[in-house]
A and B are shown apart, each in its own frame.
Chain A
């Protein structure tokens, strides 16, 4: 089996803060991102997500632990060729146009002039900044800068892409385009690590969500699994509890809500029919979708149950 695209093993980082004791930004964090996998780092501001990303790229020195990209030292220049990084709010030389910035980065990756230009033009077009790409970067909005940063990260068709808040500053169309882009990256086997506060988007595109708080990795959640649960609200669920448990042994019940693992959304009619035949008064039936938000609030608010079981 080939090495993971990205692997952090017990990585820690402390920041020296003038005069006071050092702040632990990342504390003994370990995780992997495999080829073809989209992994999200989730957590409140100051959780250590961006620092973890910078440690993964050797943009910061770690105090402890190991970082490997494709099983190699991230400092190796050849490894860097296989990686793309789009930082939060990137800044580019003010007097260069977006196209020139991309041509520079393409040339640094070893593309010849013609390849660099055609690739840069195609990416500007794909990310909806073809017109802005011909203007100097000094006049870019945050969203345009964000898209240019993303275009720069995608230039070398990287096998591993790290995206720091990729949807911050994007309009809804940009967010949708980003979702499409991530799906495309996964389809071609690229590994993606992103951090975002847009949980609904993360839920749609990510395979794994990693919850961080105070520099610690609290919980690893397989998004794909929770996406295949149906939630049914039943008015008389309390009265049917025993019967439902016999029919659906794996079902979870809470109040009037029943949560059932299903293969896909197409299983919903059969489930509704089964419950109806059992005498259930169904109020609402839908695919479960807001799992991440619940998990997030639970972890951020420190309710603890998940943190206790959460080894990654």
Chain B
């Protein structure tokens, strides 16, 4: 047998191609702006002595912490063109000639960007934990901070990857950003306009519309799970609802993204 004879089968029905994931993580972590974001993020770990609770390593509601904003920026950066770049360069077609399914390709790219994000988030978390241990105020909630924050980040990444299956170039991150601003406008701008109209005894229709929109809006984004860390820190009852919502969100956009990628690839073949 030749030394190049494949020895292990590549499963055709797997959700993630790990060679693709590792390649994607490596490639994404080498971009200059990503490195700059990661260094900044690591630096925020040293700020942990000023935190009220471990939930603030990546969260810090109501006002997002610096780390939170950097993680958002890094997510947009690492997810930018994650699928479309491969399709447009033609490398996706070369990869799909190997024994790997389209779903495993999509899963591999998403998991790779996720791995890169996780590695970036690991640094401030380790620094925070180390400082807490050194100061003697380490609590189990610190352990929860990273995985919980990562679930929320992965949820955003799944959405961005799904968008990349249908949009060209880096359009996915741009539209995710536009979507986030529209959400913020609907959440706060519309509510403000509605309140103003109410004060002026006008705009019943606007108020009715706004109240309906406010009911739906919270479910149009990942829930944000830093509360879970806060609850653990406060020894309060833990509400797993937001975490479950975000896990379902990840599964939904992962599936949708893989489906859209498959459709785009089949459409290209038919063209």
Contact = CB atoms under 8 A, between A and B. Distances in A.
**A, B in one complex:** yes
A118 B3 contact: yes
A90 interface: yes
Interface stretch (A38-46, A106-114, A240-248, A277-285): A106-114
A105 interface: yes
B91 interface: yes
Interface string B247-267: 000000000000000000010
Given A93-B27, A93-B91, A85 B97 contact: yes
Contact of B97 (A59, A91, A111, A118): A59
B244 interface: no
A105 B99 CA distance: 10
B98 A108 contact: yes
Given A61-B269, A80-B97, A107-B19, A92 B91 contact: yes
Contact of B6 (A91, A95, A109): A109
A115 B100 contact: no
A37 interface: no
B26 A100 contact: yes
Contact of A59 (B4, B89, B91, B269): B269
Interface stretch (B7-15, B129-137, B214-222): B7-15
Contacts, number: 97
A87 to B, nearest CB: 7
A190 to B, nearest CB: 12
Contact of A81 (B26, B94, B99): B99
Interface in A45-61: 57-61
Contact of A111 (B4, B90, B95, B101): B4
Contact of B100 (A59, A108, A157): A108
Contacts of A157: 2, 4-5
B63 interface: no
A80 B98 contact: yes
Nearest to A123: B4
A77 B97 CA distance: 8
Interface residues of A, number: 37
A115 B99 contact: no
A46 B116 CA distance: 43
* Residue from the set A57, A107, A115 with the largest chain B CB neighbour count within 10 Å: A107
B23 A100 contact: yes
Contacts of B4: 106, 111, 115, 119, 155-157
B3 A95 contact: no
Interface string A96-132: 1000100011111111100100110000000000000
A96 B89 contact: no
Interface of B: 2-10, 12, 17, 19-20, 22-23, 26-27, 30-31, 86, 89-91, 93-95, 97-101, 266, 269-271
Q: Which 9 A-B pairs have the closest CB atoms?
A: A110-B6, A107-B19, A77-B99, A108-B98, A91-B89, A95-B30, A104-B23, A77-B12, A61-B269
Interface of A: 15-16, 57-61, 77-78, 80-81, 83, 85, 87, 90-93, 95-96, 100, 104-112, 115, 118-119, 152, 155-157
28 contacts: A60-B269, A61-B269, A77-B10, A77-B101, A80-B97, A80-B98, A81-B6, A87-B94, A91-B89, A91-B91, A93-B91, A100-B23, A100-B26, A104-B19, A105-B94, A106-B4, A108-B10, A108-B95, A108-B99, A108-B100, A109-B98, A109-B99, A110-B6, A110-B7, A110-B8, A110-B9, A115-B7, A119-B3
Given A61-B270, A95-B26, 4 more contacts: A80-B97, A90-B94, A91-B91, A110-B7
